[in-house]
Amino acid sequence: MNLKAVLVDDESASRETLRNFLHKYCPEVEVIGEADAVPSALELLSNCKPDLVFLDVEMPFGNAFDLLEQLGDVSFSTVFVTAYDHYAIKALNFSASYYLLKPIDIDELIAAVEKVKKDRSISHDLPHAKILMENLKQNGMQQRQLVLPVLEGFEIVRIQDIIRCQANDNFTDFYFVNNKKLMICRTLKFYEDLLSDSGFMRIHKSHLINIQYVKKYIKGKYGTVIMSDNAEVDISPNKKEEFLSRFISS
């Protein structure tokens, strides 16, 4: 699959490096335009129809999120390019967006392009940018949506509907308020980092729980939590104090 691409980055050296990498390592990607700021990117993207946009998160006169909001509905896939920023990376991971950290790693670039090709071969109606923008407008973390990669594609769920997550080797089992269960192709550690600001707590090496769905706490050597789905989750010795203090203060 050939892809027509646009590069949006305020640093000319960064655009040149990315352009050269794409030419050498991703020959199926044709760069059809470049922009160095939000206004010029708006004009460029309005006049051409790229399949893929490499978009720097931080730019003069706005950022990548401002650009996407002004564009409205987008039909192209987006690979965000950014220096490490915790907030930006967390927002991108919520929406399962593709991103590259500066300086760009060639293997990661190739992998991102392959993921875009795979997703576009399944559907041209990609939800990543839409979910990202909706999440950024939400004030409460529990009201945000999460894109979960499953074996056959992806599912979009509301964070407030997740009761708990359980480690399953290199996968994670998600349990929901409607008794639904999903096995997700990522580790529990990934979701611990992602959901830690959304009312979730890892109380055991195998369990990440949504505090709002704790139904009962049973005293014991270390204690057991009964969740709203009646699942019994043991608390690790080193998590008991943190759990009690967090639950009491929640």
pLDDT at 249 over 70: no
Q: For helices 86-94 and 128-137, what crossing angle results, to 10°?
A: 120
HSE toward the beta carbon, residue 206, CA cutoff 13 A: 7
The domain in which residue 166 lies consists of 159-249
12 CB-contact burial (10 Å; exposed 0-12 / middle 13-18 / buried 19+): exposed
Looking at the structure, tell me whether residues 108 and 34 fall in a common domain. Answer: yes
Q: What are phi and psi of 17, to 5 degrees?
A: -60, -45
Co-location of 33 and 121 in the same domain: yes
Task: Express as a percent the part of the chain with pLDDT over 70.
Answer: 95
Q: Work out the pLDDT band at 136, boundaries 50, 70, 90.
A: confident
- Domain membership of residue 147 (yes or no) is no
Report yes or no on 107 lying in a domain. Answer: yes
Two structure tokens written together for 179: 């008794």
Q: How many domains does the structure of the chain reveal?
A: 2
Query: Do you know the residue count of the chain?
Result: 250
Note the pLDDT of residue 131. 84
Same domain, 102 and 193: no
pLDDT of residue 126: 59
Pair (27, 122) in one structural domain: yes
- Pairwise CA distance, residues 52 & 82, whole Å: 16
Mean pLDDT calculated for residue range 164-193: 96
Q: Say if residues 33 and 48 touch (Cβ distance below 8 Å).
A: yes
- Highest mean pLDDT among 89-103, 172-186, 211-225 belongs to 172-186
27: cis peptide before it, omega within 30°?
no
Beta bridge partners of 217: 225
CATH for 186 = 2.40.50.1020
Q: Is residue 152 part of a domain?
A: no
Do 7 and 129 share a domain, yes or no?
Answer: yes
Tell me the CATH number at 93: 3.40.50.2300
Among all chains, which residue has been given the structure tokens 């014991």?
Answer: 220
Residues 47 and 125 in one domain: yes
| Partner residues linked to 207 by β-bridges | 166, 204
250 has pLDDT over 60: no
Q: Positive or negative CA dihedral for 203, 204, 208, 214?
A: negative
Question: In this structure, is residue 144 part of a structural domain?
Answer: no
User: What does the alpha-carbon distance between residue 200 and residue 188 come to, in Å, rounded to a whole number?
Assistant: 12
Query: Residue 158 and residue 141: Cα distance in Å, rounded?
Result: 10
Predicted pLDDT at 176: 98
Average pLDDT, the chain: 90
Asked if residue 124 has pLDDT above 60, the reply is no
Final residue belonging to a domain, choices 101, 135, 169: 135
Quick one: 114 and 190 in the same domain?
no
Tell whether 122 and 21 lie within a shared domain.
yes
Residue 15 maps to a domain: yes
Confidence of residue 122 (pLDDT cuts 50, 70, 90): low
